[in-house]
A and B are shown apart, each in its own frame.
Chain A
Amino acid sequence: MIRRAASLLLVLATVTSLSACARRADVSGWLREAEAAHADADERLAQKDVAGAREALRSAAQAPVPEGARAADARVVRQDLYYRWAMLEADQGAPEEAVRVATEGLALGRGNDAFTANLEIVRGRAQESLGHAADASRDYHDALLVTEVLLDESLGTPERKP
């Protein structure tokens, strides 16, 4: 009986290990696609292909996240894509769309990180251009709260070169 249970355990360990490796490979591929979307958007914007840049950022931001990715990691990667997409809309004179995109990005969650702060800043800027002073002020304030935490951490920690 013990020998049978040991065999079962070995099979279980092998399957689990292979499954974990496969999940990590999925996340790695998803990260590469997200990074490539930024590069693609840069290239298309340099060629004045705004629609192409928007589509690259949109599809990457809304792409399903693989199962093996930590929620916090997935959130920052997607929020960064939403930030760039919202920036693009604001730069194209579409503040309402910029607000909508930034709000969609913030709906993924909030963290004390630069990506959440960026989304609040770009939405505040869009609200400002729409004449929504109170909303803009609230977004800027929220961004400053996050930045304050990050600055405290940064001052307490030796800065790491990117």
Chain B
Amino acid sequence: MTTPDDEPTEEELREAEALARALERGHAPPGTPEDALGAAAFLRFTKDGGSLSAEDSERILEDALRNARLPVRTPWRFRLFGVLGLAGAAAAVLLIVARQAPSGELPVPPRALLEAQVDVASGKVASLDALGAETAAYRRAVFASLEGRYGR
């Protein structure tokens, strides 16, 4: 601690310089004492009510514009890859859906059923019992095939 008559120390000079910069420019270098910054802010506020001057506003705007990043334009190659990728994905979806669609033929009817049909239709046999029995057997095969196709 020094008395007002003493020569200012180096530290006091540094603090005074930082305070002067804070008053002049509105910002201070790192390491400026908190109480000095508080005093600078108080002085600035009493001077202009804390409002920005037109020059300061202009300077801040220019600084912001200078540092603002321009929107990155995606190169056309990347866009093409994206579109091709989406088209591929869409094709894959269609393929999956198409594969899920049931398809296939019914089981081949047993010869005994066909012979029973020929026998009745040609008048060779009067009874429909054999036709009924052979159809019942084939029916089981058809249902097994269809349930396999559509999933249980």
Residues of A within 8 A of B (CB): 2, 5-6, 9, 12-13, 16-17, 20-21, 24-25, 27-28, 31-32, 34-35, 38, 68-70, 73, 76-77, 80, 83, 87, 113-114, 117-118, 120-122, 124-125, 140-141, 143-144, 147, 150-151, 153-154, 157, 159-162
Tell me which residues across on chain B come within 8 A of A122, comparing CB atoms: 128
B106 CB, min distance to chain A CBs, angstroms? 6
B86–A118 contact, CB under 8 A? no
Among A28, A34, A70, A114, the one with the most B-chain Cβ atoms within 10 Å of its Cβ is A114
The residue on A at minimum CB distance from B152 is A28
4 nearest A-B pairs in the assembled complex, by CB-CB distance? A162-B141, A2-B82, A140-B121, A13-B93
Size bracket, chain B contacts = 35 or more
Measured CA separation A12–B101 after assembly (Å): 17
A9 touches B90 (CB 8 A): yes
Given contact pairs A17-B97, A121-B117, a sample of 7 additional A-B residue pairs in the complex whose CB atoms are under 8 Å apart = A17-B96, A17-B100, A25-B151, A77-B146, A114-B117, A121-B121, A151-B114
Q: Does B109 contact A (CB under 8 A)?
A: yes
B38 to chain A, nearest CB (A): 48
Contacts from B to A (Cβ < 8 Å): 79, 82-83, 85-86, 89-90, 93, 96-97, 100-103, 106-111, 113-114, 117-118, 120-123, 128, 131-132, 135-143, 146-147, 149-152
Q: Which of B79, B140, B143 has the most CB of A within 10 A?
A: B143
Q: Please determine whether B132 and A76 come into contact, CB atoms closer than 8 angstroms.
A: no
B79 contacts across to A, CB distance below 8 A = 2
Bound Cα distance from A68 to B103, whole angstroms: 11
A76→B102 contact, CB < 8 A:
no
Q: Are A154 and B151 in contact (CB under 8 A)?
A: no
A-B residue pairs in contact (CB < 8 Å), sample of 15: A27-B150, A28-B147, A68-B102, A68-B150, A73-B102, A76-B106, A114-B117, A121-B128, A141-B121, A143-B121, A144-B118, A147-B114, A150-B108, A150-B114, A160-B107
